[in-house]
Structure 1
Amino acid sequence: MTNPWEEKVCKMAQTSLLQGKQFYCREWVFHKLQHCLQEKWSCCSGPATAQSLVGNAGNNASAISGKGASWGVLLVGGPGSGKTALCTELLWPSSPASLQRGLHRQALAFHFCKAQDSDTLCVGGFIRGLVAQICQSGLLQGYEDKLRDPAVQSLLEPGECERNPAEAFKRCVLLPLLGMKPPPQSLYLLVDSVDEGCNVVEGEQTSPSLSGTVAELLAGHHEFFPPWLLLLCSARKQSRAVTKMFSGSSCMRQKALWLEEPLSCQMEARCLRACC
């Protein structure tokens, strides 16, 4: 039986959040993202140091690429700078240029965190939504078969997933992906407004729930992503504690694209800053 969050994800996957509005500018961002995906695939094809994913891996045990492959992209900008609009255009292209570029075809899964919608801030719902999308994407044949283990299925149950999100994320998302044959091109996981749901007090990031936040889950496990999967997140530049989780950690690198002007303004490539 499909849970409410899966139904919401399926409905969202068919409708652009721009609701028919035309998307302007930001072409340099799409060029940079395309380059990052190509670079990710090049890194995946090269030699890498392997290490084991710590935890109870069950039958899905696998080696993963070393820390050198653990990098992603962080879109940073103030309110109204166009982060969500850009993510929407990336997934549901409305312009001929975006359609021709075809980056939407490399989206493995996505998630939009919304402050006014507590369901989108639930870590358990986030994990179940990812699993549902990956199964429905058709990009990774055999992924669903790796979830048939009753022990794995039990981790996705409401309540259990919230009690132990780290284990659910590892055994239901990361380990199955690591056990898959690499796809013919790099893919990406998009999480918009990853800083939503995080309370920042005196420079420290704290979680409002016992199960943590989506940001904490991703930052704590990004180094275990398969080398062909690019993590693409967006966050407000005011959320320094959260952006530091991704760009300032010693165990991961996150390339930051800074969106410093409103969406209606033409942006130039000089606004790109690398935070490694």
Structure 2
Amino acid sequence: MAQTSLLQGKRFYCREWVFHKLLHCLQEKTNSMINSAPHKQASVANPGSSASTAPSKGGPWGVLLVGGPGSGKSAVCTELLWPSSPQGLQRGLHRQGLAFHFCRADDSDTLSVSGFIRGLVAQICHGGLIQGYEEKVRDPAVQSALQPEECERNPAEAFRRCILLPLQAAKPPQQSVFILVDSVDEGCHFAEGEQRSSSSSRTIAELLASHHEFFPPWLLLLCSARKQNKAVTKLFTGFRKISLDDLRKAYIVKDVQQLKERTPASATKRKLRCSLHLEQNPS
């Protein structure tokens, strides 16, 4: 299953302000961990019941990177996980990455909800950032929920049993960590005015939207989506939104200027026309 980014290894320019904002959000989570250390945020008395999860506290539920097509959402996500610049390596935000997933319209496997869940579990186990998590998912009940057929049949229950409850019960890390989901709106084809259940888990976006409030307080959910897809962005109410192509912001204009200095004129014109079109024709 293709979980990685096709942009990995490409050179990355500008956007320093984005990483400063993300660093601030992660620091907020870390500070909330320190301030609430004596108090346990969630009860996991009954691992088989969804009622044992409780909403966490501490900062925004998550961050939503928004922008039009070609605004650099996937590039930012890629640079966050696999920094290509000395500044990115020095920031060290990639060390706080717990798991990631890149949704792609041309790869149906990346849009599978059950595949998404199983991929996150594998990464969290292999990453070693959360002590005790791997041991907890070895539980027979958890393994049963994680089986492909069962995960496909009831993804919401699999997400609770295999990700939420083990994370809530595990020893918190020393600093906050994040789960990154790029292009979370891919595969979401909602009809205008369509009513959706708050507990629906037909897509990755719906699964996360109906469960993100139960993430432990040390975990930040970071997603990206096209700003034109209002039906999806509205699912993440309460998230801190970061726009990548709002040319009313001086630091975004500075990005465009720096890009012009670093790239050939023909490529710059194409990127600039795209940015201006996105800003002058908001959806």
Fold conserved between structures, TM > 0.5 = yes
**Cα distance, 1:53–1:192 mapped onto 2, change above 3 Å:** farther
Cα distance in 1 for partners of 2:33, 2:55 equals 8
Deviation at 1:49, TM superposition (A): 8.8
Q: Percent identity?
A: 68
Aligned: 1:90 with 2:80? yes
Q: What are the within-5 Å matches in structure 2 for residues 95-110 of structure 1?
A: 95-110=85-100
Cα distance in 1 for partners of 2:49, 2:152 equals 23
Cα pair 2:55 2:214 within 8 Å, conserved: yes
Deviation at 1:148, TM superposition (A): 1.5
SS of the counterpart of 2:254? coil
Cα displacement string for residues 117-142 of structure 1 (whole angstroms, at most 9, x for unaligned residues): 11010000000000000011011122
Aligned: 1:150 with 2:140? yes
Cα distance in 1 for partners of 2:49, 2:153 equals 22
Paired residue for 1:77?
A: 67
Cα pair 2:29 2:58 within 8 Å, conserved: no
Q: Which amino acid is 2:160 matched to? A: K
Deviation at 1:63, TM superposition (A): 6.0
Deviation at 1:44, TM superposition (A): 2.4
Q: Which amino acid is 2:25 matched to? A: C
Paired residue for 1:235?
A: 225
Cα displacement string for residues 203-252 of structure 1 (whole angstroms, at most 9, x for unaligned residues): 43769xx95000010010011000000000000001101101102xxxxx
Cα distance in 2 for partners of 1:53, 1:76 equals 34
Cα displacement string for residues 4-48 of structure 1 (whole angstroms, at most 9, x for unaligned residues): x3xx44xx3xxx632532100110000000011001111222247
Unpaired segments ≥5 residues, structure 1: 248-252, 269-276
Paired residue for 1:254?
A: 239
Q: What are the within-5 Å matches in structure 2 for residues 15-34 of structure 1?
A: 17-34=6-23
**Cα distance, 1:40–1:266 mapped onto 2, change above 3 Å:** same
Paired residue for 1:222?
A: 212
Q: Which amino acid is 2:24 matched to? A: H
SS of the counterpart of 1:197? coil
Cα distance in 2 for partners of 1:53, 1:246 equals 25
Deviation at 1:260, TM superposition (A): 1.1
Cα pair 1:44 1:69 within 8 Å, conserved: no
SS of the counterpart of 1:266? helix
Q: Which amino acid is 1:33 matched to? A: L
Aligned: 1:176 with 2:176? no
Aligned: 1:135 with 2:125? yes
Unpaired segments ≥5 residues, structure 2: 257-283
Q: Which amino acid is 1:83 matched to? A: K
Paired residue for 2:24?
A: 35
Q: What are the within-5 Å matches in structure 2 for residues 27-66 of structure 1?
A: 27-47=16-36, 50=41, 57-58=47-48, 64-66=54-56
Q: Which amino acid is 1:189 matched to? A: I
**Cα distance, 1:216–1:122 mapped onto 2, change above 3 Å:** same
Cα pair 2:102 2:110 within 8 Å, conserved: yes
Cα pair 1:28 1:267 within 8 Å, conserved: no
Cα distance in 2 for partners of 1:265, 1:17 equals 26
Deviation at 1:196, TM superposition (A): 0.6
| Structure number, greater radius of gyration | 2
Whose strand fraction is larger, Structure 1's or Structure 2's? 1
**Cα distance, 1:138–1:60 mapped onto 2, change above 3 Å:** farther
Q: What are the within-5 Å matches in structure 2 for residues 181-220 of structure 1?
A: 181-204=171-194, 212-220=202-210
Q: Which amino acid is 1:28 matched to? A: W
Task: Report which stretch shifted further, 194-203 or 124-133.
Answer: 194-203
Q: Which amino acid is 2:254 matched to? A: Q
- How many residues align? The count is 248
Cα distance in 1 for partners of 2:135, 2:223 equals 28
Cα distance in 1 for partners of 2:82, 2:58 equals 31
**Cα distance, 1:93–1:52 mapped onto 2, change above 3 Å:** same
Q: Which amino acid is 1:153 matched to? A: Q
Cα distance in 2 for partners of 1:26, 1:205 equals 37
Q: TM-score, normalised to structure 1's length?
A: 0.81
